[in-house]
């Protein structure tokens, strides 16, 4: 009896984006592509998608040129290439109009991408329908992905309902996207068995992060159950918050009796050397060393590896503010590890309240953001949910899709107090077509729509980043960021995780219960006033403000939009702690208000 073959896919895009902020430049990608091919063990390569092109724009490279030149050697070698896309959100963090989504597949197919891996973070089949339709229409292989998590509502039956719909829509393949690595191995094996029992001819691919340490057992279980492809990584970006290494996976599956490809170890070592060279050159400046470690604590909060890196960066940004608040209240300061545990516990607490959204981009960010702000407010003696950003409200209200579980009564009541209405329609219908607007914008600026309208697509998908790329501002910002990162590295002033940090400008020594501090809900650029909105004004110390009044904005590259900062109570502005245009981290203090009356609960 012949052995059943298992094929490997190198998730090269995800290796970098689960490790740090940036991905290799085009010259680096072209350098390593032939070496990856020489390894001889990969049938597929994840080349682009989710945030990859956004990152290209952020450091001043044309993403269309990057994608075309990066994947060309794989096309010529007969290795399939695949991209990751977020269904309703396309390859960005917020919803995309249908005509822009449709153009994406035409562009990506023309650029040489073979497979579209499409996932809805909420597992709402309505969001997958157009992804499958448009991918097949463009001539791509449509791979519908299940966002795997572990909760009382995420049962075999729940996932099979999504599979049934995906197959009905025409999906060619099914992927188990275990983005946090918290899927239990036996459960995953049962799910693959059920998919193969019902749809024996459908290819099944498994994508599992190493984070909490279950990934190798999960790989073995899904392969025994009938999986065809396994996603893997390679050193020095394997394990930790990333993916299992291809060497270990191959040896395990070979011993288990599967037919697996051999690895050209000379090529592996050369690719390993090149990856380390890229890290040493500059990419390592944006990789948190903590991402190298596996943590069983992730089983409690269920956050994916990429979000762990984001969370650690957030904690470094708010640790000083939290500890000064505690000191002013006469309480014991906390280490980064202690606050991390509080944050894990808070994610676990609020996740069911928010309807168990699978913690995958962008919903993992939303839940993490609320948890972080909640921890800050709780340590100040305030109630939870004092601040929720617009994108998170869209998720809560149903504009992103149907939540897997019910919202807690407290969340429903909070929405009513804010005057929000819940949305029950098809999520795509809430976002009208926009390509004509962007065609006109290209014309007005004298820009070429590009080969296969790929430049038009980039503008429509990543408007702010594309404009900054075209003006040269993105490259200038990136070069300044590199200089600053190198300076910070050379200073070696990063505090120990067990040592509380002091603010350079300490807050008042005595805690004032009538004082409100507004914090940045996201990382971004501070904007006071807005030139396109006439009624906006520039605030100053001494201004009287009303509850709900807009005071400033935070512009986020990540969300490609402006987040309003509003007063939570009536009062008088006593401090403005940031300057126009400065970059703030999530949780940084922005404005202090003396409250005229007791805060409303």
CA distances from 283 to 25, 280, 423, 507 (A): 10, 7, 42, 35
DSSP code at position 207: E
285: its two tokens? 């400046």
**Rounded distance, CA 378 to CA 381, Å?**
5
Burial class (CB in 10 A: 0-12, 13-18, 19+), 490: exposed
Q: Which fold has domain 7-291?
A: TIM Barrel (3.20.20)
Say whether pLDDT at 478 is over 50.
yes
Which helix (H) or strand (E) segment holds residue 67: the answer is: helix 63-77
Residue 310 binned pLDDT confidence (cut-offs 50, 70, 90):
low
* 445 contacts: CB under 8 Å, gap ≥ 6: 470
Q: What is the DSSP string of 277-295?
A: HHHHHTGGGGB-GGGGS--
Give residue 82's Cα distance to chain centre. 18
Separation of alpha carbons 564 and 361, rounded Å:
22
Residue 120 CB partners (closer than 8 Å, separation 6+) = 86, 87, 88, 127, 128, 147, 401
Cβ–Cβ contacts within 10 Å for residue 531, how many?
Answer: 7
Tokens 């126009």: give the residue.
580
**Least confident stretch, 323-327, 460-464, 474-478, 596-600:** 596-600
Distance from C-alpha of 555 to C-alpha of 534, rounded to nearest angstrom: 18
Confidence of residue 444 (pLDDT cuts 50, 70, 90): very high
CATH number of 512-601: 2.40.50.100
| Residue among 314, 342, 308, 339 nearest 240 (CA) | 308
Give yes or no on whether 7-291 and 512-601 have one common fold. Answer: no
pLDDT of residue 322: 74
Q: What's the distance, Cα to Cα, between the start and end of the chain in Å?
A: 69
Q: What does the pLDDT average to over 579-584?
A: 77
Find how far residue 148's CA is from the centre of its chain.
15
167 or 375, greater pLDDT: 167
Question: What CA–CA distance (Å, rounded) separates 409 from 508?
Answer: 37
Percent of the chain's residues with pLDDT above 70? 89
What tokens were used for 284?
Answer: 């390592």
What is the C-alpha to C-alpha distance for residues 14 and 46, in angstroms, rounded to an integer?
Answer: 8
Please give the model's pTM, rounded to 2 decimal places: 0.81
CA-CA distance, 71 to 30, in Å (whole number)?
A: 9
Closest CA to 128 of 168, 92, 91, 87: 87
Residue 403 has pLDDT above 90, yes or no: yes
What is the distance between the alpha carbons of residues 505 and 589, in angstroms, rounded to a whole number? 11
Give the domain ranges of the chain: 7-291, 512-601
pLDDT of residue 601: 41
Tell me: pLDDT of 94 over 70. yes
Task: State both tokens at 520.
Answer: 């940045």
Distances from the Cα of 530 to the Cαs of 20, 413, 518, 564, in angstroms? 32, 32, 19, 11
CA distances for 320 relative to 109, 501, 508, angstroms = 48, 5, 14
Q: What burial letters (b/e) apply to 182-198, b meaning 16+ CB within 10 Å?
A: bbbbebbbebbbbbbee
Please say whether the beta carbons of 230 and 5 come within 8 A: no
Greater model confidence, 491 or 89: 89
User: 3-state class of 302 per DSSP?
Assistant: coil
């Amino acid at each position: 009896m012949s052995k059943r073959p298992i094929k490997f896919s190198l998730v090269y895009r995800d290796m970098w984006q689960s490790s740090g902020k940036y991905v290799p430049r085009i010259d680096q990608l072209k350098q390593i592509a032939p070496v990856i091919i020489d390894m001889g063990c990969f049938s597929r390569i994840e080349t682009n998608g989710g945030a990859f092109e956004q990152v290209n724009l952020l450091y001043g490279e044309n993403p269309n040129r990057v994608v075309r030149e990066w994947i060309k050697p794989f096309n010529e070698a007969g290795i399939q290439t695949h991209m990751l896309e977020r269904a309703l959100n396309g390859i960005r963090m917020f919803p995309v109009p249908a005509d822009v989504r449709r153009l994406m597949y035409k562009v990506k197919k023309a650029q040489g991408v073979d497979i579209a891996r499409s996932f809805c973070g909420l597992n709402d089949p309505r969001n997958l329908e157009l992804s499958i339709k448009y991918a097949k229409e463009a001539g791509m292989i449509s791979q519908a992905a299940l966002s795997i998590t572990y909760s009382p509502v995420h049962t075999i039956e729940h996932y099979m309902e999504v599979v049934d719909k995906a197959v009905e829509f025409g999906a060619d393949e099914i992927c188990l996207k275990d983005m946090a690595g918290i899927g239990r191995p036996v459960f995953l094996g049962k799910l693959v068995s059920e998919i193969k029992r019902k749809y024996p001819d459908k290819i099944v691919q498994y994508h599992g992060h190493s984070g909490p340490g279950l990934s190798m057992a999960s790989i073995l279980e899904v392969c025994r159950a009938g999986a065809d492809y396994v996603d893997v990584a390679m050193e020095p970006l394997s394990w930790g918050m990333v993916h299992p290494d291809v060497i270990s996976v191959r040896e395990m599956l070979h011993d288990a009796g599967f037919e697996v490809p051999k690895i050209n170890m000379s090529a592996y070592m050369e690719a390993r050397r090149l990856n380390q060279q890229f890290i040493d050159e500059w990419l390592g400046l944006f990789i948190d060393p903590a991402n190298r470690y596996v943590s069983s604590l992730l089983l409690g909060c269920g956050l994916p590896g990429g979000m762990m890196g984001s969370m650690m960066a957030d904690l470094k940004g708010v640790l000083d503010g939290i500890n000064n608040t505690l000191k002013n209240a006469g309480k014991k300061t906390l280490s980064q590890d202690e606050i991390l545990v509080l944050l894990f516990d808070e994610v676990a607490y609020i996740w069911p309240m928010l309807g168990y959204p699978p913690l995958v981009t962008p919903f993992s960010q939303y839940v993490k953001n609320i948890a972080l702000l909640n921890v800050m407010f709780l340590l100040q003696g305030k109630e939870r949910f004092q601040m929720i950003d617009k994108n998170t409200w869209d998720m809560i209200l149903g504009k992103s899709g149907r939540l897997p579980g019910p919202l807690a009564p407290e969340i429903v009541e909070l929405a009513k107090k804010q005057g929000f209405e819940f949305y029950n329609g098809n999520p795509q219908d809430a976002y009208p077509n926009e390509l004509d607007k962007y065609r006109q914008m290209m014309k007005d600026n004298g820009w070429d729509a590009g080969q296969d309208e790929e430049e038009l697509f980039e503008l429509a998908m990543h408007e702010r980043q594309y404009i900054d790329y075209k003006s040269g501002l993105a490259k200038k910002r990136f070069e300044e960021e590199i200089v600053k990162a190198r300076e910070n590295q050379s200073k070696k002033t990063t505090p120990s995780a067990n040592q509380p940090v002091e603010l350079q400008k300490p807050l008042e020594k005595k805690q004032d219960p009538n004082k409100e501090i507004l914090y940045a809900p996201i990382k971004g650029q501070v904007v006071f006033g807005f030139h396109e909105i006439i009624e906006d004004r520039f605030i100053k110390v001494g201004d009287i403000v009303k509850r709900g009044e807009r005071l400033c904005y935070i512009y986020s590259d990540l969300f490609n939009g402006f987040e309003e900062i509003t007063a939570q109570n009536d009062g008088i502005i006593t401090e403005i702690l940031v300057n126009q245009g400065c970059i703030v981290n999530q949780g940084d203090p922005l404005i202090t208000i003396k409250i005229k009356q007791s805060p409303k609960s």
